[in-house]
Amino acid sequence: MAWFHKSKEIAAKPESPKKEDIWIQCPSCKAHIYKDEWEKNLKVCDRCHFHERLTWKERVDVLLDAGTFVELNAKVSWNDPLKFSDSKGPYAEKAVENCEKTGMKESVATGAGKINGIKVAIAIMDFRFMGGSLASGTGEKILQTALYAIRHKLPYIILSASGGARMHEGIISLMQMPKTCAALAQLREANLPYISIMTDPTTGGVSASFAMVGDIHIAEPRSLIGFAGRRVIEETIKQKLPEDFQTAEYLVDHGFVDMIVHRKDMKDMLSKILKYAGCR
């Protein structure tokens, strides 16, 4: 016979919320932040000002007027010209997995919308899709959106977030570097502004092409921006690099980036630049 009997009439106490459901730990300073506060602050740590990576849809919500975004080139997707496969499996399988995981068909989403009433063409890279890598589909979407901007006489904004060119597509991927730059050159010939926004990270072939040919270069605070990795450079030049090397702050000091803008201020800053450029 049991020593104690719990009355069935006593209602069970409701489970208290799990710690992970109400707290977020900042990936940088490790501070614990209320989840609601984290979301309200646009996923920016109010202690160290670390800017967490956003999905392309979150970027749309932050930058564009509500209900104005219209997606373009939605059917353009990845390609597998080399039938590439490595020790981890076929590229095609990885691409399909990424499509299912992210709901995207490529590493960039493109479209048109309004920023404080000013219509713009926009491309937003999403690091979740194969590290935001630059591939044939990525380049094609950026090109087609540039041509759309030219046809409709719109300013063009690209938000970069990439680890570089997608090795799975070989030379086809590398060809997207001159392809995108050629499209942006046509935009410049049409006297239309191109604003490049570099987020964490913007590296490799993206930093060596369309991310660095803007009329205005903007970066989010503490973003990693560069071409080759720190270790590769140090081993090549046989020198120790500064601690802040390849940060947004370092690039501003050395003239590669025009300004660093906090996420909460980005929309208003873009609005001011576009108005100054005569966009209405």
Query: Using CA atoms, how far apart are residues 140 and 162, in angstroms rounded to an integer?
Result: 16
AA identity, residue 131 = G
The ranges of the chain with pLDDT < 70 are: 1-20
Model pLDDT for residues 171-196, shown as the tens digit of each residue: 999 999 999 999 999 999 999 999 99
The per-residue pLDDT for 280 is 86
Domains of the chain plus CATH, in order, are 19-50 (no CATH), 53-276 (3.90.226.10)
Backbone angles phi, psi at 24, to 5 degrees: -120, 135
CA distances from 31 to 18, 44, 262 (A): 17, 12, 19
**Contact residues for 73 (Cβ-Cβ < 8 A; gap 6+):** 110, 140, 141, 144, 145
What secondary structure letter does DSSP report for 274?
H
Query: Using CA atoms, how far apart are residues 121 and 72, in angstroms rounded to an integer?
Result: 9
Residue showing tokens 């990693």 = 224
> Which candidate, 159, 170, 245, 221, places its Cα nearest to that of 194?
159
CA distances from 179 to 90, 132, 208, 209 (A): 26, 17, 12, 9
Query: Using CA atoms, how far apart are residues 229 and 177, in angstroms rounded to an integer?
Result: 19
CA distances from 247 to 17, 166, 195, 211, 255 (A): 38, 23, 19, 15, 12
The per-residue pLDDT for 15 is 58
Q: Work out the angle at residue 14's Cα, subtended by the Cα atoms of residues 8 and 15, and round it to the nearest 5 degrees.
A: 120
pTM here is 0.90
CA distances from 86 to 94, 99, 165, 167, 244 (A): 11, 19, 17, 11, 35
Q: Are 248 and 220 in contact (CB under 8 A)?
A: yes
The per-residue pLDDT for 49 is 87
Report, in angstroms and rounded to the nearest whole number, the Rg of the chain calculated over CA atoms: 22
